[in-house]
Each structure stands twice: as structure tokens, then as C-alpha cells.
Structure 1
Amino acid sequence: DLNEIKLKTGNVYESIAIIAKRAGQINISLKEELHNKLEEFASHTDSLEEIHENKEQIEISKAYEKMPNPALLATQEFMEDKVYFRKNEEDLFR
């Protein structure tokens, strides 16, 4: 509910900006985690003809596709007061 989101900061746009920034952080973290897991199974060959499907890589990718959207995770964290944020007074006057 937008009213509940607005109550956290007093401004719905500020709340959405905080959620968006947190979603970006979550997204980067998930991408790095996925990349690291997939890298464990990667075969390091220079030939394009030797590309093959690795079942472990496919299963890991499918598991990450089923995970909730980072924006949903960020919104949930925000509503549960698990996101730390502060106002930067300098940014208000730029």
C-alpha cells in the first residue's frame, strides 16, 4: 500500500527512491553470487565450437530465475525496517 510506504519517510517518492537503490544493491549482489557459482562449473576453453551445456549451470540458473524480484525483496526489507537510510542535506540543495 502506497500510504504505508509513504509513512516511512513522509514522502512516497523518497521511499520509492530508497527502495530502488536497495533493489539495485540486491540485484548486484545476486548477479555476483550467480556469476561466482557458474564460474565454478565453467570450462575454460578458447574454442567456440567446444561450448556445451552443463547441467549444474542450468540448474543454478533456473534456481536464480525462480527467486523473487530484487524490487520485491527491497520493498519487503523497507517495510520491515531492515533498510538503513539517511538524508544527505547537501543533496537537497543541488
Structure 2
Amino acid sequence: MDIKNSDAPINTITIDKNKVDAPTDNIYEAISVVAKRATQINTEIKKELLEKLDEFATYNDSLDEIFENKEQIEVSKFYERLPKPHSLAIQEWLDGKIYYRNTKDVESEA
């Protein structure tokens, strides 16, 4: 997943319901798949951010030595400007990049 080069919108936009539910023919199933993907994306972004911020961590117990780290602030601002996980997930869904399957269909074939 390349969130830095995604064409997902940063602001809220209206999306045609028919485009969202076209792959599944069920809007609730489509939203469920997108929500699960958004959770995965959020977890990945959070892990990556915490790894980068951990580089700036100081392990002093003294409150007198708290200072602003400009690099840490820039990293935080970069992640704040990224599209939200649900925007990234819905863009992946509309682009056909999310693989899903209905387990009920698989069980009925067996």
C-alpha cells in the first residue's frame, strides 16, 4: 500500500451508491468490506507513525528537559495531512484493488 501517492480525496466527497455496491450488489456488504480495509489501513499507518516517532523518544524522567523537536513535528504534520483511512479504503474499493469473497458462496459450492 502506498498511501503517500494515493489519489484518495483528503476532503469529504459524495460517491455514487451504485459504484460502491456494484461489485457485491449489496451496499451493506460493500460497506463492511471497506470498513474492514479501513481498519487495516489505520493499523498500518499507526504502526508506521509510532515507529518514526519512537526515533525521537527520550527516556528522561526530568520535566525540565522537554523541548520541541522540529523533525518530530514535521513527521506528525505529514501524517495529519494524509487522507483518512476510510478515504483510502473506499478509493481502493472503487479502483478494484480490494480482494474479497463471500464465505457463504464458498460453503454452498462445497
Q: What TM-score do you get using the length of structure 2 for normalisation?
A: 0.76
Partner residue, 2:60: 45
- 2:38 pairs with one of 14, 18, 23: 23
Name the CA distance, whole Å, in 1 between partners of 2:30 and 2:61: 47
Gaps of 5+ in 2: 1-15, 105-110
Aligned to 2:80: 65
1:54 to 53, 69, 73: 69
Per-residue CA deviation, residues 13-48 of structure 1 (Å, 9 max, x unaligned), is 100010010001000000000000011111121234
The size of the alignment, in residue pairs, is 90
Counterpart in the other structure of 1:92: none
Identify the structure with bigger relative contact order (alpha carbons < 8 Å, sequence gap 6+).
Answer: 2
The correspondence for 1:77, drawn from 64, 89, 92, is 92
CA RMSD of aligned residues (A): 1.5
Give the structure-1-normalised TM-score.
0.88
Residue number among 39, 42, 47 corresponding to 1:32 in the alignment: 47
Which stretch has the larger CA shift, 36-45 or 59-68? 36-45
